[in-house]
Structure 1
Amino acid sequence: MSEAKGNKIKNEEFKIWKKSVPSLYQHITTIKPSYTRLFEGAERIPKVVAFTHKIVPDREKGTFTTSLLCSQGSDIYEVDFQLPLGLHSNSEALPDPQYSSAFAEIVHSEKHEPKWTYQGNTIIKLEYVGGAEADAVAMTSTGSLAWFKDGCKVPVYVMEELVGPATSFSRIHNQGSTNNWIAADFAVSENTETVVKSQQSMATGPGEEHSLLKIVDNSQSPGNLIRTISIPGVSVTQSIKFHDNNMFSTCSDDNGIRFYDIRGDGKPLWTVFEPHDGKLTCYDVSPTLETLFITGSDTGVLKLWDLRSVIACEIEQKEPTEIAKLYHSGADPVADVRFGISSPTEVLSVGDSGNVYHWNLEPIFLREGDEDDEMAESEELQQQCLEFMHTGGGRRSLGQSRKRETVAWHPIVQGVVGCVDPDGLLTVYRGHYGATDKARAQDEREDNE
């Protein structure tokens, strides 16, 4: 059988499959890289993912190549994926994707060699920056930072944090008994010139714990400490997000979200405490609407907030109120939450179950100004906003592994999501949110061919 004829049969089979399950995925593919079989018990080793900015189109095959950075312990691997070009291009003149054989080629040609390694450390977060000095920044289980550059397997810069006598023993014990790492985070400013990281609680005396924020250079001398900010009475600052080049906010274990300016005096510009609906576990800031942020809690509750109303309530000394409340089914604790790359209405959240919830917040904005505030927590709003769900694990057991940083939006291709399971299985997909008029017309043309 000729290659052209074989590809045609494969594409026809794909069309039949796609039409038989229109409510599942617009596209989904999975790969279990060979490096996951290098170690026994690899499912117990933390894994995180981050997309690169790589986009290599192949119009002849109707595909494009992109890649995921995936960590396993101290190693970081880059895994290429070939996806249908239609996920990235709106052109109507695209050929049928010939990607089945391309996936096979990737699997068979795969190498065990990691792209980067930080020997003796466990990586718990990755962020691709693509800067002049470094291509990616990683955080380890001790809160240390490492910068990596193409062509150099080991870190080109390191900002090391050591667990020592100044660290609260109670905090080490509590974190070690659950996650085996210190709860910390970092964020990179929009212009990639600055990094803000948190450090585990420091004890200067009985009852005097405080979390530290470190503002770090990421342009001229990556890893160089610029200044330190102390947050008294706080043991853990588990999340940090930038709103722009200078303003950032933090989420801490006292259920407080604090807003700072890196050019300020180190005191919060504003603070909002959330005493309701459980313990805050994560939050995110919209990259397209910097005043919009969303929080997640261990009771499975998601809350959408507007910073402008938070500021107004602080001036009036009132408790701020969220715009709307959503929730995970079965009170599934929120492990992570991410705004989409190009729309303030696109959000995904990750549950401890491993399920990935896709939300469309448009119904919330459409009801703005509605006098009926009960809509903000209604079952109807929940049904309108929950647009798609990727169920985690499939036939495999996800266990009690940490789900944070295991799911990522593609930074360029809208709607494409990558995730990693504890056993190392990588999945890249785009959910099917309902057929558009254009899609229906395309299906009709294909039926008539």
Structure 2
Amino acid sequence: MGGEKINKIRNEEFKIWKKAVPSLYHHISTFKPPYTTYFESVEKIPKAVAFTHKIAPHKESGTMAASMLCSQGSDIYEIEFQLPLGLHAPNENLKDPQYGASFAKVVNNGKLEPKWTYQGETVTKIEYVGGSLADAVVMTASGSLAWFKEDCKVPVFVMEELRGPSTSFSRIHDQGQSLAVNVDFAVSENVETLVKSQQSMASGQQDEHSLLKVVDNAQTPGRPIRTIPVPRTSVTQAIRFLDNHMFCTLSDDSTIRFYDLRGDGKPLWSMADPHDGKLLCLDVSPMIESMFITGSDTGTLKLWDLRTIIACIENKEEPIEIAKVFHSAADPVVDVKFGISSPAEILSVGVSGNVYHWDLEPIFLQENAEGDEIMDAEELQQQCLRFIHTGGGRRQAEFYSQRETVAWHPLISGVVGCVDPDGLLTVYKGFLGKEADSGSVSENEGDAQV
């Protein structure tokens, strides 16, 4: 009887969760590329995704062509797909989209050849920059960087980080096993400068420090400009630019540091958050440069304002976040990304593989609310959590890093791409309205197209 009662309670909890989180999609398409069969245990090979800036509208068919980059091992593939044109131009009078499977062109081509290859390395991050000298920058598991150009399969520039006898074995071990520890890089808004991290070479020693390397990305990509030590840290796992010169970092001491490339290499401000677990990731708003968000291993997301932090530092007070929300079941936050259409739009990824879509506008509206309009924390959480994408394959592999496996499209609002551990690619746009307002589901909504 006890088991039946527990099961009944869980069923009721699921109904409440299902009611609070819509499961419809404006659009969803999936594709299992043929290259996923090239290796055994493909789920253990790191993967990363990024959208290109390529969009080709076809008004006569009501569709548009786009593409995404996906890595597997040392190879990077460009996958073309189709989307309903209404996702990009919702207010125009458009024809109903006329197409079969969104990835039909790839399927019909048969074998898929790599667009780029960085031989002997394992790609862990892709940044599409569309610059004059390179179209994309990639980082590998060793911390090396490579620049790729259209129609050239091998890197046009390389910045290698070699592991030698001086590299701590424990750091290599941690790098391979930990979901939280990883190196990172970021490109400035004008695409002229790049900052990358390098893990410590002296683990456990008194003078241990990781490094930040400022790299040219304009005249001679890959040319080191300067090196900045980060004392008493083993690795800096996240880097983000606020503008052309200022950038922030998150290291494994759960401290966020703000730098100016024009400065002396010392942080302008530093902020530690001793509450709600160890910080694993952060992102900076593309719309409000003073706003950033952090995610922790307890499933906590916190929104911050740099101006408030500076004021607290000057007054010797502990910084307080603007807002705080949580992943379900304390699912650790391994990646977080601001959207492109609203400063309140945020996407976060859990260790479980779940992709959480947030709209923090209800929190901002609460600042001016009075009396009965004020919501409690639980109700506010439900209002902010607009959508969850689970994807069956995303939760199949243990110890699989979900970092860089999910990306917003940089030009089409609300469109997300992700890759599962087994290599399954998904492009979707979640339905963020109420189910009662959604009407009937079209033949392309809610059904994965393989």
Q: TM-score, normalised by structure 1?
A: 0.88
Q: Quick check: 2:22–2:435 contact (8 Å CA) kept in 1?
A: no
Please give the secondary structure, in 2, of the residue aligned with 1:227. strand
Which amino acid in 2 is paired with 1:54? K
The amino acid across from 2:403 in the alignment is R
The whole-number CA distance in structure 1 between the counterparts of 2:98 and 2:352 is 34
CA distance in 2, matches of 1:303, 1:213: 25
CA contact (8 A) 1:392 1:398 kept: no
* Long gaps (5+) in structure 2: 1-20, 443-450
**In 2, Cα distance between equivalents of 1:369 and 1:22:** 28
- In 2, the alpha carbon distance for the partners of 1:105 and 1:238 equals 37
The 5 A counterparts of 1:6-405 are 23-100=23-100, 103-178=103-178, 183-203=182-202, 206-368=205-367, 378-393=377-392, 397-405=396-404
1:406–1:420 Cα contact (<8 Å) kept: yes
Shift in Å, 1:399:
3.0
* Structure of greater relative contact order (alpha carbons < 8 Å, 6+ residues apart): 2
1:54-80 deviation digits (Å, cap 9, x = unpaired): 100111111001101000000000000
Q: Aligned letter for 2:430?
A: G
Compared CA separation, residues 399 and 393, structure 1 to 2 (3 A) = farther
* Aligned residues between the structures: 420
Alignment-mate amino acid for residue 98 of structure 2? Q
Distance in 2 between residues matched to 1:227 and 1:340, nearest whole Å: 32
Does the CA-based 8 Å contact 1:142-1:182 persist in structure 2?
A: no
1:143·1:199 contact (CA, 8 Å) conserved in 2?
yes
Shift of 1:348: 0.5
8 Å CA contact 1:237, 1:253 repeated in 2 = yes
**Per-residue deviation at 1:396?**
6.9
Q: Give the aligned CA root-mean-square deviation in angstroms.
A: 2.5
Cα distance in 2 between the residues matched to 1:369 and 1:241: 31
Q: Which amino acid is the alignment partner of residue 119 of structure 2?
A: Q
C-alpha contact 2:126 2:136 (8 A) present in aligned 1: yes
Distance, in Å, in 1 between the alignment partners of 2:184 and 2:135 is: 18
What is the CA distance between 1:167 and its match in structure 2? 2.7
The Cα of 1:343 is off from its aligned counterpart by: 1.3
Q: What is the rounded CA distance, in whole Å, between the counterparts of 1:39 and 1:246 in structure 2?
A: 42
Contact persistence 2:86–2:94 (CA under 8 A): yes
Does the 8 Å CA contact 1:166/1:204 hold for their aligned counterparts?
A: no
Aligned-partner Cα distance in 2 for 1:76–1:398: 22
Structure 2: which amino acid aligns with 1:197?
K
Q: 2-side partners of 1:204 and 1:365: how far apart? A: 43
User: How far does the alpha carbon of each residue in 1:392-416 deviate from its partner, in whole angstroms, 9 at most, with x for none?
Assistant: 3259724331100000000000000
Separation in 2, partners of 1:66, 1:118: 24
Displacement of 1:182 in angstroms is: 7.2
8 Å contact from structure 1 (residues 23, 433) kept in 2: no
Instruction: State the alpha-carbon separation in 1 of the partners of residues 369 and 271 from structure 2.
Output: 25
2:271 maps to a residue whose letter is: V
Q: 1:380 to 1:159 in 2, by over 3 A?
A: same
Is the CA contact 1:83–1:99 (under 8 Å) kept in the aligned structure 2? no
**TM-fit CA distance, 1:44:** 1.4
Aligned CA distance change for structure 1 residues 297 and 438 (closer, same or farther; 3 Å):
closer
Write the deviation string for residues 199-238 of structure 1: whole angstroms up to 9, x where unpaired.
0113298321101000000011000001010011011100
User: Does the 8 Å contact 1:300/1:328 carry over to 2?
Assistant: yes
Name the SS for the 1:100 alignment partner: coil
Comparing 341-350 and 103-112, the one that deviates more: 103-112
State how far apart, in whole Å, the 2-side matches of 1:349 and 1:357 are. Answer: 5
Aligned mates of 1:391, 1:327 — CA distance in 2: 16
SS for the counterpart of 2:86 is helix
2: CA distance between counterparts of 1:307 and 1:150? 38
User: What residue identity is the alignment partner of 2:299?
Assistant: G
**SS across alignment from 2:47:** coil
Letter in 2 for 1:350: V
Q: Letter of the aligned partner of 1:66 in structure 2?
A: A
Counterpart of 2:46, as a letter, is P
Deviates more, 1:393-402 or 1:361-370: 393-402
CA contact (8 A) 2:126 2:137 kept: yes
Task: Tell whether the 8 Å contact from 2:25 to 2:429 is kept in structure 1 after alignment.
Answer: yes
Deviation string 1:273-328 (CA, Å, 9 cap, x unpaired) is 01111110001000000111100001101011110110000000111011111000
Q: Decide whether aligned partners of structure 1 residues 298 and 101 sit closer, same or farther in structure 2, where only a CA change above 3 A counts.
A: closer
